[in-house]
Amino acid sequence: MSTPVTTFVERASREVNTPKVRAVDAGARLLTAKRLKGVEEYPAMDSMRDRAREIRLHTVAHLDTYLEQFAEAVEAVGGKVFFARDADEANGYIRRVARDASAELIVKSKSMVTEEIGMNAALEADGVQIVETDLGEFIVQLANERPSHIVAPVMHKTRQDVGELFARELDVPYTEDPAELNKIARQYLRQRFLRADIGVSGANFGVASTGSICLVTNEGNGRLTTTAPRIHIAVMGMERLVPTPGDLGVMLEILARSAVGQRLTVYTNVVTGPRRPGDPDGPDEFHVIILDNGRSQVLGGSTSEILACIRCGACLNVCPVYREVSGHAYSDVYSGPMGAVLVPSLFNIEGNEQLPYASTLCGACVDVCPVRIEIPDLLLALRQRVVEDGDAFRWLGSAMSAYKVAATRPRAWRAALSSGALFGRAVRSGWVGRLPGPGGAWTDSRDLQMPAKEPFHDWWRRNRGS
């Protein structure tokens, strides 16, 4: 990924308070409510989360062993494995396969890792047509946008937006009826599945002992992508392994519940090698691209725990920052708390130095994370790196120095609290909508809550004596 040309703050300022963000906020709240219900109905959730965390951290800690085992197992069942150091190598491999097969059309199921490597643009430059087949990704592709959420890519659009988009791009009568919109997309896509030369998928998990990849979807497009075309290419981040099918079972228990509150996704596909003699369907060729793209640098470092992430999206849905700015404010397809850790860890922190600050450190993300990733700790580790590099917000150094003066001198501290209380008493409502001078940057997009009318120390003396 190249260094972004705009900063997080600039992009967030554009997004905040727009209809798009209101749609994202509503969608995130809905998914959070569904998750809560799904978790409440499953008493074993807590112990499963502990088990899942153990499995993922163990796998990440022994990744070299499991990668070797996985690659051998894929080849043993007739698949081909390619280790790609970066996006160029991964795209180069896909382009070679496409060229050898004289491919003109590729269908693709939802995959964040192919978004990460910019696969569509690379293949389109060779004249190959790519069609996204996940409904959300299909809409995003038609609108020439990028996903705003890792699980629900089109969370930023209303059904009216989609109706207008389909009418404009697919030349169909306007409708905002979800069933009709689904039907239009299905009719369009079905023909592409049948004509496609190659199907490209991601992999929610790879199973080291069997060489299988597992895809979870709610639409069935993953199943068609991996079986209808003659060639199937799966692109998988190198950290997405689990050791055994039993471990995969643990992941499946928690993934859909955390993502959308379902016991399981409607389709859970486990693909092991290409079609064998006697199989009624399946591809003749099965390729797995195992992508590094910065991951091996993260291993063993201060943020390596983020490699345990299973991309459920739950931390995005509860994040007060994500819900105010949407996924489009972030510099990559990975957004919200997990993106704020993953993107500066995988790619340059330079250009992404504001992302670790895109959090209130409230800890809501840890509460919902199915593998209990300590995201606030990882964000603090990244903030430390930003400060050491001298790239922190300019005002932050002066603000922290002023705080240090007040916090280490009792008199100065009491004076600061008393002046805060004076402001608090002056503003009756307890909130200020607009501050003058540089403080206006704060109130541009939110109100400022005034300090308590009576400092805590005064209250304590009044109620409890000295």
Using CA atoms, how far apart are residues 307 and 342, in angstroms rounded to an integer? Answer: 8
Window 82-141: residues binding ligand SF4 (CB under 6 A): none
For the CB of residue 30, give the shortest distance to ligand SF4 in the complex, in Å: 17
CA dihedral defined by 181, 186, 188, 194, rounded to 10 degrees?
A: 170
For the CB of residue 128, give the shortest distance to ligand SF4 in the complex, in Å: 31
Using CA atoms, how far apart are residues 363 and 359, in angstroms rounded to an integer? Answer: 9
For the CB of residue 334, give the shortest distance to ligand SF4 in the complex, in Å: 9
Using CA atoms, how far apart are residues 123 and 112, in angstroms rounded to an integer? Answer: 16
Structure tokens at 126: 């060779």
Using CA atoms, how far apart are residues 194 and 411, in angstroms rounded to an integer? Answer: 77
Residue 202 as a binder of ligand SF4 (CB under 6 A): the answer is no
For the CB of residue 385, give the shortest distance to ligand SF4 in the complex, in Å: 19
Nearer to ligand SF4, 303 or 354 (CB): 303
Residue 309 as a binder of ligand SF4 (CB under 6 A): the answer is yes
Q: Using DSSP, state whether 422 is helix, strand or coil.
A: helix
For the CB of residue 285, give the shortest distance to ligand SF4 in the complex, in Å: 32
Kind and range of the H or E run holding 36: helix 19-40
- Please count the residues of this chain forming the interface with ligand SF4, following the rule CB under 6 A: 13
Residue 312 as a binder of ligand SF4 (CB under 6 A): the answer is yes
Stretch that binds ligand SF4, among 98-106, 158-166, 175-183, 313-321 (CB under 6 A): 313-321
Residue 237 as a binder of ligand SF4 (CB under 6 A): the answer is no
Residue 31 as a binder of ligand SF4 (CB under 6 A): the answer is no
Among 107, 140, 196, 314, binds ligand SF4 (CB under 6 A): 314
CA atoms within 13 A on the CB side of 40: 6
Residue 256 as a binder of ligand SF4 (CB under 6 A): the answer is no
Nearer to ligand SF4, 232 or 372 (CB): 372
Among 274, 283, 313, 455, binds ligand SF4 (CB under 6 A): 313
Residues 6+ apart with CB under 8 A from 50: 372
Nearest CA among 359, 321, 418, 325 for reference residue 22: 325
Window 371-400: residues binding ligand SF4 (CB under 6 A): 371, 373
Stretch that binds ligand SF4, among 87-95, 183-191, 293-301, 305-313 (CB under 6 A): 305-313
For the CB of residue 364, give the shortest distance to ligand SF4 in the complex, in Å: 10
Nearer to ligand SF4, 202 or 313 (CB): 313
Site string for ligand SF4, 258-297 (x = CB under 6 A): ----------------------------------------
For the CB of residue 315, give the shortest distance to ligand SF4 in the complex, in Å: 3
For the CB of residue 236, give the shortest distance to ligand SF4 in the complex, in Å: 16
For 211-231, letters b (16+ CB in 10 Å) and e give bbbbbbbbbebbbbbbbbbbb
Neighbours of 446 (CB within 10 A): 12
Using CA atoms, how far apart are residues 85 and 218, in angstroms rounded to an integer? Answer: 31
Per-residue CA distances from 257 to 32, 309, 372 (Å): 10, 15, 14
Pairing of strands 448-449, 431-432: antiparallel
Stretch that binds ligand SF4, among 17-25, 268-276, 311-319, 422-430 (CB under 6 A): 311-319
Using CA atoms, how far apart are residues 134 and 314, in angstroms rounded to an integer? Answer: 20
For the CB of residue 194, give the shortest distance to ligand SF4 in the complex, in Å: 34
For the CB of residue 49, give the shortest distance to ligand SF4 in the complex, in Å: 10
Window 316-375: residues binding ligand SF4 (CB under 6 A): 338, 368-371, 373
Residue 311 as a binder of ligand SF4 (CB under 6 A): the answer is yes
Kind and range of the H or E run holding 113: helix 112-116
Neighbours of 400 (CB within 10 A): 13
Q: Where do contacts with ligand SF4 occur on this chain (CB under 6 A)?
A: 309-315, 338, 368-371, 373
